[in-house]
Amino acid sequence: MTVIFSKKCEIGLQAVLFLSAQEKGVMCNAGEIADKLDVPKEFVSKILQTLTSSGIIGSKKGNNGGFFLGQPAEQLRLIDIVSAIDGLKIFHKCVLGFAGCNMSAPCPVHDDWGKLRNETYEMLSNSSLADLRNQTINKINNLYKG
Amino acid sequence: MTVIFSKKCEIGLQAVLFLSAQEKGVMCNAGEIADKLDVPKEFVSKILQTLTSSGIIGSKKGNNGGFFLGQPAEQLRLIDIVSAIDGLKIFHKCVLGFAGCNMSAPCPVHDDWGKLRNETYEMLSNSSLADLRNQTINKINNLYKG
DNA sequence: CAAAAATAAGACTTTTTTATCTTATATGCA
DNA sequence: TGCATATAAGATAAAAAAGTCTTATTTTTG
């Protein structure tokens, strides 16, 4: 079980962070990304296709091709990747799973979770990939391969 | 996709809250709970078995049997149900899915998520089902059946 | 122009999760 | 005692998610 995001989304987030840590203009192929993140190449490849079609990353076919950020790092946020892969439903659903959870019929943690959910959303949307770059580079350079 | 908890866990939480909203000594059978929560009887029944074996709820077989809280509502917390069904791993994993995420190699949201994760844990563990009772009763009386 | 290397696309397989079915066992009551 | 009605338990089925494979297409380079 993942924490909040699906496996696909986690890998998508990691892959885009990986790309954002590269020097501008540098392209990475699927094999390289898969190797660094320690996930199957075909799987990461498929996820990157999704992100390509939504414009978050760009791709170039053929020899010496690969993937790269599709927009300036200043304009990309983690929430954009989440939105493209898992969608934003989790930011509107009751954490206890009650179907009709709203202000007039709130679940016992409705307000508490509402606050935490908003803060989670902010965590993913208030910083651009450019803002996160130093931490991202540090993480990418210390990837753990078990 | 669920928010944080598996479907089983969500239904387990809802079912236990449902039981905690009953008058003391009142027993509910699986059919009744399934009907109110709008989920299959056999599914809720199976989840209740898990919770029975972990002592969170009690059960009585036979005619007029059913399920009931296995401990005083003052001693039960939402985190106990989560722990019994999904486990507590999600409170130790990186939200972006990085394998070796720790203080010396933190992901770009390591600290932010750490704080939110702790507050989520507190949300689920600082109140007993007794503390939540009024809100729970209100919710149970306003269950939405789509 | 041909070969090599890369992504694109979609079919397919496997694994996990969710849901259902069946049989056994326990309880209460006529 | 026998029947109706519960849960218990485990097998099975269905659905969803994760992962793999194959073929097509594109691009660079010799």
Q: Residue A43 — pLDDT band, cuts 50, 70, 90?
A: very high
Q: Residue B145: what pLDDT?
A: 59
Q: Does the structure show a pLDDT above 90 at A78? A: yes
> Shortest CA distance to A95 belongs to which of A114, A118, A122?
A114
pLDDT tens across B65-122, in order? 999 999 999 999 999 999 999 999 999 999 999 988 999 999 999 999 999 999 999 9
The reply to whether A52 Cβ lies less than 7 angstroms from strand C is yes
Per-residue exposure over B54-73, b if at least 16 CB sit within 10 Å of its own CB, e if not = eebbebeeeeeebbbbbeeb
Q: Residue A98: what pLDDT?
A: 95
What's the whole-number average pLDDT of chain A? 95
Interface of B with A in 84-143 (CB under 8 A): 86, 89-90, 93-101, 104-109, 112-113, 116, 119-120, 123-124, 127, 132, 135-136, 138-139, 142-143
DSSP string computed for A23-75 = PTT--B-HHHHHHHHTS-HHHHHHHHHHHHHTTSEEEE-STT-EEEESS-GGG
Kindly state the average pLDDT of the residues A33-60. 95
Q: Specify the amino acid at residue A44.
A: V
Pairing of strands A66-69, B57-60: unpaired
Residues of chain A in contact with residue B139, where contact means CB-CB under 8 angstroms, are 98, 101, 105-108
SS3 (DSSP) at B59: strand
Q: Does the structure show a pLDDT above 90 at B138? A: yes
SS3 (DSSP) at B68: strand
Q: Residue A25: what pLDDT?
A: 87
pLDDT tens across B31-63, in order? 999 999 999 999 999 999 999 999 999 999 999
Q: Specify the amino acid at residue B139.
A: K
User: pTM for the whole thing?
Assistant: 0.95
